[in-house]
Amino acid sequence: MWFNFLKKFKQPRRDDLDPDEILLDSSNLSSFNKQQFEGQLEKPIGRLTLYVTGAVFSFIFLLLFIRIGYLEIARGQAFSARSESNSLRHTAIFAERGIIYDRTGEELAWNNPDHLRTYISLPGLAHVLGFVGYPDEKQAAQADYENKEVVGREGVERAYDSVLAGEKGIKIEETDVSGKVVSDYLLQTPVSGESLNLSIDAKVESQLYAFIKSLAVDKGFHAGAGVIMNVKTGEILALTSYPEYDPNLVSTGNDPAAIKSYLTNPQSPFLNRVIDGLYTPGSTVKPIIATAALSEKIISPDKIINTNGKLVVPNPYDPKNPSVFKDWRNNGPVDLRTAIAYSCDVYFYEIGGGFGSQPGLGISKIDQYARLFGLSAPTGLVLGKEASGVIPTPEWKKENFDGEDWRLGDTYHTSIGQYGFLVTPLQMVRAVAAIANGGTLITPTLLKDNKNNLATSKNLGLNPANLQIVREGMRGSATIGTGMGLSVPYVKLATKTGTAELGVAKDRVNAWVEGFWPYENPEYAFTVVMERGRVGNTVGGVFVMRQLVDWMHLNTPQYLGLPPLSTATST
């Protein structure tokens, strides 16, 4: 039965097989995939191959067994003792600090092969660049620094320390009981800091410093400061403060006596006067007062006020003793433009505090517009501590003068930038830039092509026609007025001077100049202040800026909106 059942599934026999089908392989059928061994005969692995492979693996296992035995038995006690006496420690590997360049690509700060920070030898750059050193108490409280870690202590080095410093690496070291390193392992590779391209031109800044220093030494000024800023972008072309320190000397700390002399110097060389020096501005605030008077329709720009060198205010309590507010000279009949050009005090007394039929702004409006132009507040420059300043008000007087009442004379003096008025040079150059650019208060920056500062700029909402009238007055200062020293043939400048009397004796003055160029299409604003000079001296900030623009005409004419001198002379 089973035989018959299986027979049903038996395949039919073929008697017509071709010999080629029996001997079919890859050589006579090209369609076989030789890469997958189709059409090839398979052979079993030989005994010899198996024996050799087994012997190799046995030998490897034997070596591992011997090594384990050596470590556990022969060296086990030694390693145990080592593990008990040795310790692991994490050691920081400090990254290379980023290089600092000026806007032309000049290296200003770099690293020597032994990681010492080195600064360019040009004078005048110390307060911008700053220096490096061990963290001070404030920095140490803000972050967990490693032993002997060097950080930015002042200037750009400090303000952009997180960018310049990069990321520390970590190395694990095994030390014995004596502190000797017996092995190490790099856990994290350090990442070098990023480089910075500053907006300043190192050569322009150095020349500005040299002219300020020379005048201070020659005419007996206590100190000085200067700043130049692009009125459209806020980029600072130059920012310098005299006197200064040597950043190479301070960074290394190799000369304690010299560092001590900096600290005890009455001229305060560590003080960055551009951003942290507070000065009585004097007549440099008059363009702001003029803008306020036009905006509030206090006076027409063409109205004439007759001045005779003083403003006499009757005293209702004692007619024989009127209050007299003197001008620096008899400027005669003036309108707003010539009042700015001649820096006429009487004109600004009247539009500031009022006199007779002429209404005045009053101290509240003076305070409002001074603040509108950024006075008494930090500018937002990323560099270091900025002083705020003071705009005198009745509240300020009560607080600082034992509750005294505000008087009309206080308003008069505030109108010409005296009394308790205090500003920084950076605040003033920012205010001048706002007048020059049509009413935008720009945040200054020390970074080239920095767009972030423009995001924080503010349109002041001022009438462009009023600002044009003020600019015309400032141009008049350079052509017929107190800033005639800046009347040059190669570029039109607009200026405003200021001489601020200091102290009760008024035997010392701050000699200011501010302005912008070119007059037709302003690009740069500037401010220079010479600190605490002798009252009889007539040479001040104007002389510094005249020297600088003459130098720029020959060496950097592109900043004056001029072609290279060789091209200009050939045409």
pLDDT above 50 for 431: yes
pLDDT above 70 for 78: no
Instruction: Give the model confidence (pLDDT) of 104-149 as tens digits.
Output: 999 999 998 786 899 999 999 999 999 998 877 777 666 666 666 7
Give the pLDDT score at 147. 60
The residue behind tokens 């038995």 is 73
Please give the domain boundaries of the chain with CATH numbers for all domains.
90-197 (3.90.1310.10), 202-570 (3.40.710.10)
Residue 6, phi then psi, degrees to nearest 5: -70, -30
The rounded distance, in Å, linking the Cα atoms of 132 and 98 is 12
The rounded distance, in Å, linking the Cα atoms of 110 and 265 is 28
Residue 318, C-beta contacts closer than 8 angstroms, at least 6 positions apart: none
Chain mean position to CA 496: 26
For a pLDDT cut of 70, what percent of the chain falls above it?
82
The rounded distance, in Å, linking the Cα atoms of 278 and 273 is 8
Half-sphere exposure of 412 (CA within 13 A, CB side): 20
> Structure tokens of 100?
């600092």
Confidence of residue 5 (pLDDT cuts 50, 70, 90): very low
Closest CA to 515 of 507, 504, 523: 523
Amino acid letter for position 207: Q
Contact assessment for residue 438 and residue 525, using Cβ atoms and an 8 Å cutoff: no
User: Which 8-state DSSP code applies to residue 14?
Assistant: P
Give the pLDDT score at 88. 60
The rounded distance, in Å, linking the Cα atoms of 357 and 350 is 10
Coil, strand, or helix at residue 513?
Answer: strand
Average of per-residue pLDDT values in the chain: 87
Instruction: Give the model confidence (pLDDT) of 524-547 as tens digits.
Output: 999 999 999 998 888 999 999 999
Most confident of 139-143, 161-165, 442-446, 505-509: 442-446
Instruction: Give the model confidence (pLDDT) of 345-387 as tens digits.
Output: 999 999 999 999 999 999 999 999 999 999 999 999 999 999 9
pLDDT above 90 for 416: yes
The rounded distance, in Å, linking the Cα atoms of 120 and 104 is 14
- Give yes or no for a cis peptide into 518 (omega within 30° of 0): yes
The rounded distance, in Å, linking the Cα atoms of 41 and 272 is 91
pLDDT above 70 for 85: no
CA distances from 226 to 199, 327, 416, 543, 559 (A): 16, 27, 21, 12, 16
Mean pLDDT confidence for 213-237: 97
Coil, strand, or helix at residue 480?
Answer: coil
User: Which 8-state DSSP code applies to residue 72?
Assistant: I
Least confident of 3-12, 171-180, 325-334, 497-506: 3-12
Mean pLDDT confidence for 442-459: 92
Closest CA to 94 of 151, 24, 53, 136: 151
DSSP per residue over 159-226, as a string?
HTHHHHS-B-EEEEEEE-TTS-EEEEEEEE--BPPPPEEBS--HHHHHHHHHHHHHHHHHHT-SEEEE
Coil, strand, or helix at residue 164?
Answer: helix
The residue behind tokens 């599934």 is 9
Coil, strand, or helix at residue 287?
Answer: helix
Query: Given strand 107-111, what is the order of strands in its sheet?
Result: 117-119, 107-111, 100-101, 196-197
**Structure-model confidence comparison of residues 318 and 201, the more confident one:** 201
The rounded distance, in Å, linking the Cα atoms of 418 and 523 is 29
Mean pLDDT confidence for 240-262: 94
Coil, strand, or helix at residue 261?
Answer: helix
The rounded distance, in Å, linking the Cα atoms of 202 and 101 is 9
Most confident of 34-43, 451-460, 553-562: 553-562
Instruction: Give the model confidence (pLDDT) of 288-345 as tens digits.
Output: 999 999 999 999 999 999 999 999 999 888 888 999 999 999 999 999 999 999 999 9
Mean pLDDT confidence for 226-246: 98
Contact assessment for residue 556 and residue 203, using Cβ atoms and an 8 Å cutoff: yes
Confidence of residue 2 (pLDDT cuts 50, 70, 90): very low
Give the pLDDT score at 570. 37
pTM value is 0.82
Question: Which ranges of 377-519 would DSSP assign to H, the alpha helix?
Answer: 394-400, 408-415, 425-436, 452-455, 464-479
* Radius of gyration of the CA atoms of the chain, in A: 40
The rounded distance, in Å, linking the Cα atoms of 549 and 226 is 13
The rounded distance, in Å, linking the Cα atoms of 160 and 143 is 15
> Structure tokens of 112?
């020597």
Give the pLDDT score at 9. 46
